[in-house]
Each structure stands twice: as structure tokens, then as C-alpha cells.
Amino acid sequence: MTTIRSKLPQTGTTIFTVMSQLAGEHGAINLSQGFPDYPCPPALIEALHHAAQAGFNQYAPMAGLPALREAIARKLQQSRAVSVDPDNEITITAGATQAIFTAVAAVLHAGDEAIVIDPSYDSYAPAIAAQGAHAIRISAGLDGRIDWPAVADAVTPRTRMILINNPNNPSTGVFTAADLDALADIAEHHDLLVLADEVYEHLVYDGVEHHSVLAHPRLRQRSFAIYSFGKTFHATGWKIGYCVAPPTLSSEFRKIHQFLVFCVNAPAQHALVEVLRDPTHWQSLPAFFQSRRDRLAQGLQDAGFQLVPSRGTYFQLADYRSIRDDLDDVAFARWLTIERGVACIPVSVFHADARQQGLVRFCFAKQEATLDAAIARLK
């Protein structure tokens, strides 16, 4: 039998699949994997039905429906006050994860390096490794603050890109304007590209402002900015996102994109055109999720957890050591799922060195009844 030399020898099944499967096996309430358990907006479902009935069921254009790219450009003008060329700077993708992989594959070559800031979403490093490139991991503080001098010190002649996640999953940190300035200083000085995963752009709380690389003059022309309709419209199973990048970067992005998926679900694209006409939904998201964050946070505190403030995303980090200090976070997550019927995610999996900080991550993108049931079990 032919021997296969794995491109990702250290990579197994993602922790999200593992914990969701464990939750199913033990009848646990699943606050681990980041997906809502409530419906999409009814207008979106109705628009999808109409699009399919109207016959929009064949291949869409490779870069995405022109009408959808134009709708995204209008949304960016409304939300970020930035002008984007829908023809040459926006590409519709099969979810944000595909967009991230495509951007990495488009510009990284074997032997290149890319800086990743931990805790980091688990798709970043494998995407880099699959190109024969190397992820250089820099740890941020527990509060999500980034040591920018340490990032600068990590740059070598082989460094080509810096990946950021803003707001960050799982730290829930949100970049300040000063953070983007520091990133721009490093990127300009070393002529680096930036991949900005901004899928949680609208999920920021307590009056915090989200600062996008698209609105930063020095980062705009060297950045891939990645977004997710699944996060914005509670439709993670649709797997539709988009990448915004200047024409030169978009051209290279599309060269890879066309051979990964070619195009994306056509009726869903038509449906999204319709719902993007009204900004009310995405403008209401901070208040919608903040109430759920606060509901879960109070319940976790009542159950004995110590909380890390959640500034963005739909996740809450909790220190469990006052409840069980004899277990590492992976063992605690399994114990909580099996013995107490609530599934969470151990945070060490988001660090290259499996760093133990006594933290687990809960998802609050759930119905209030789901959160209440989980809180009752935890208490």
C-alpha cells in the first residue's frame, strides 16, 4: 500500500466536533460549538424560498452575484464609511473558513512565515502549514491585549503575513484604534500582508466600537478582510462569507478560489441580496447578543465560575478552578459534559503550547430557555 506523507501530521478532528459529539452522546446542553439554536430571520428564509422557486438554482458567477457584491459595498459604506469596488474587491466565499484558507494559499509559499496571535481560531495554523509555510505563534494577554513589540520582534526575513481576529475568538478581545496603528506600523515597516478575520464585526458590547482594517488608510491596501453571513444572520449552516481586498490581492485570491469551490450557493446569494437592503437586523445585533451574554454571565457566576469580561463575539470565558482545581481544561470540559450535562470548549486548544489557564469557553448564541436550562444544571 502506498505510504502517504501527511501535510498536517499533528492535526486531528477539531475540538468543536469532538465536544458536540460528546454532548450528543450524553444528552448535554451544547454551549460548546458556536452556532445558534434559534431560527434565521423569517425574511431570509422567505427570500431563499422565492429565489429557489424563481429558478436561481444554477452556477453563480465565480466571484459572486454582482447584486450581492453591490449590496455588500453599500453595507460597508453604511457601517464603515469606506468605498469598495464590488467588481474587483469583493469575492463571495463558501464561508469564512474557506476565505481564510484561500487568502493564505494565494500568497504564502513553502518556507514563508506568518504570525498568528494566540489564542487563535483553530483553522489558521493548519491553513498555513498546508502551504509548506510556518506559523509563528505569539501569545496575547488573558484580557486579549497584544504585546506589539513582541509581534515586531517575531518578524524575520521570511515573514509574509500577520493574521488577526477582531473581535477575537476565544479571548473576546476587541482591537482599539491604537492596536490597528501598531499593526500598521509593523506591516508597513516590514512590507507584510494582513489577514483580518472580522466575522464578529457586529458582535461588540458595552458601547465598544469595532475598528476595521478596511477603515484604516495604512492597512486597507495590504489587507484581506474576511466576513461571515452565517454569524450575521444566524445561519452558520449556509456557509457563505466574503473577502474584501484591494484588486491586486483579490485577483490572486480568485485564482485559488475558482479551483477550490468555483462559486457559492446561488439561491442563498439571491436571498442575501434581499435582506441586506434593510440594515435594521445587523444594527440590532449588539443589543440582541449582549442580553444573552449578561444572562449567561450571571448564571455562571452564581454557579461559582470566575469570568473574563466578554467584549465581543458570542462567547464567554470562565475560570473553573474554584469548582474543580484537580482537572486540566480538557478533562474539566469532558467532566462538565458527561457528569453535569453542559458542554463547553477548553481554551488551551487555541494555544500552540496547549497553555493551561484554567479557562473554558461557553457560547451564548442560544435561546434564553436553552441558557436558563444550562444555568440550572450548572447551579
Which pLDDT score is estimated for 9?
Answer: 86
Which residue type occupies 300?
Answer: L
Q: 174, 226, 219: which is closest to 199 by C-alpha?
A: 226
pLDDT for position 364: 98
Residue-level pLDDT at 141:
79
Using 50, 70 and 90 to split pLDDT, how confident is the model at 235? Answer: very high
Residue 354 confidence class, pLDDT cut points 50, 70, 90: confident
- Judged against a pLDDT cut of 80, whether residue 259 lies above it is answered with yes
Q: Is the pTM of this model over 0.85?
A: yes
* 65 C-beta neighbours (distance < 10 Å), count: 19
What pLDDT does residue 13 have?
A: 81
Q: Does the structure show a pLDDT above 90 at 2? A: no
194: enclosing H helix or E strand? strand 193-197
pLDDT of 229 over the 90 cut: yes
pLDDT at position 142 over 80 = no
On average, the pLDDT of the chain sits at 95
Q: What gap in Å lies between CA 359 and CA 3, rounded to an integer?
A: 39
Give me the pLDDT at residue 342, please. 98
| Residue 341 Ramachandran class (φ > 0 left, ψ -120 to 50 alpha, else beta) | left
Written as nine digits, the cell of 300 is 455562571
* Chosen CATH of 47-279 out of 3.40.50.12780, 3.90.1300.10, 3.40.640.10, 1.10.10.10: 3.40.640.10
Q: What mean pLDDT is predicted for residues 240-265?
A: 97
Q: Tell me, what's the pLDDT at 261?
A: 96
**Residue range 163-218, pLDDT digits in tens:** 999 999 999 999 999 999 999 999 999 999 999 999 999 999 999 999 999 999 99
Average pLDDT of 303-309?
Answer: 96
Per-residue confidence at 304, pLDDT binned at 50, 70, 90?
very high
Backbone angles phi, psi at 285, to 5 degrees: -65, -40
Among 8-17, 71-80, 86-95, 278-287, the least confident range: 8-17
Q: Report the half-sphere exposure of 7 (CA within 13 A, side-chain side).
A: 11
Domains 15-40+283-378 and 47-279 belong to one CATH topology:
no
Predicted confidence at residue 3, as pLDDT, reads 85
- The pLDDT assigned to 290 comes to 97
Please tell me the predicted confidence (pLDDT) of residue 129: 96
User: Is the pLDDT confidence value at 143 over 80?
Assistant: no
Q: What's the CATH class of domain 15-40+283-378?
A: alpha beta
Indicate if the pLDDT at residue 284 is higher than 90: yes
Structural domain boundaries in the chain: 15-40+283-378, 47-279
Max Cα distance, the chain (Å): 60
Q: How far is CA 51 from the centre of its chain?
A: 28
Decide if pLDDT at 274 tops 80: yes
pLDDT at res. 130: 96
Q: How confident is the model over 22-33, as pLDDT tens digits?
A: 999 999 999 998
Q: Is the pLDDT of residue 36 over 90?
A: yes
List pLDDT tens digits, range 109-141. 999 999 999 999 989 999 999 999 999 999 987
What lies within 8 Å, CB to CB, of 328 at 6+ separation is 346, 348, 356
Q: What is residue 329's predicted lDDT score, i.e. its pLDDT?
A: 96
